[in-house]
Amino acid sequence: MTSLTFTVLAVLLSLLLGLIYALLVHDRFLGRGIVRTLLVTPFLIMPIIGALAWKYTVLSPIFGVLNWDVRQFGAAPVDWIGNYPVASVVAVLVWRWAPFMMIIILAGLQALDDSQREAARMDGAGPWQELRFIVLPHLTKYLQLSALLGSIFIVNEFDVIFMLTQGGPGTATTNLPFLIYQSVFYSFNIGHSAAMAVLVVLGTIVIVTWLLKLLRRLMEDVE
């Protein structure tokens, strides 16, 4: 259940944030290349380094940036990882995977014929109508592709949970990969761990098969 919660929340929020990023950097403006590079950077950072940076510079109850902001309003510092472990892990996952979603969605935006958007503007369509009736329908397959790829990667996330919460408090953030790790290295239950690993592989095969069919349809539409 924890794996499903992490995957659904992280994928949906990463998809939404990635869409916003892509829309922001699609049109030309001064410094667009620099902004694109900065937005993609979290995806290029090693997962362990990113998790440690969040743990000690953002979420730390003593030195964290969030608690510095909290103190400015006269409130007491918060142990974010201890009190909100799921939200903390999801926040780091979204920070890491939103740039990945942005790259795919941005490729879809660049494949959209600008003449369609210009014609809609000439007909009096506002930004919301243009986004709803032209941009989003065109991006449907790219959004599906982003969600599927993100699901495959995020469901297997281990580094962030290991560095931030160690699966705790209790089992609040113990997903399948971390549960397999605990079964092998803490309980030494090799058979149980192997069975769980087989289930994860089978589930991944099902998702990958669906992904390949989607990619085939996408390529056929492009041609």
Going by pLDDT thresholds of 50, 70 and 90, the confidence category of residue 218 is: low
Average pLDDT, the chain: 85
- The pLDDT, as a whole number, for residue 181 is 84
- The pLDDT, as a whole number, for residue 220 is 65
Of 140, 152, 214, 131, which Cα lies nearest the Cα of 10? 152
- The pLDDT, as a whole number, for residue 22 is 94
Higher pLDDT, 107 or 223: 107
Report DSSP letters for 101-133, one per residue: HHHHHHHHHHTS-HHHHHHHHHTT--HHHHIII
Helix (H, G, I), strand (E, B) or coil at 177: helix
Q: Which tens digits make up the pLDDT trace of 22-52? A: 999 988 888 888 999 999 999 999 999 999 9
- For tokens 């014609």, name the residue: 119
Q: Domain residue spans in the chain?
A: 2-222
Looking at domain 2-222, its CATH architecture is Orthogonal Bundle (1.10)
Q: Which tens digits make up the pLDDT trace of 106-165? A: 988 888 877 777 777 777 777 788 888 888 888 888 888 888 888 888 888 888 999 999
pTM for the model stands at 0.87
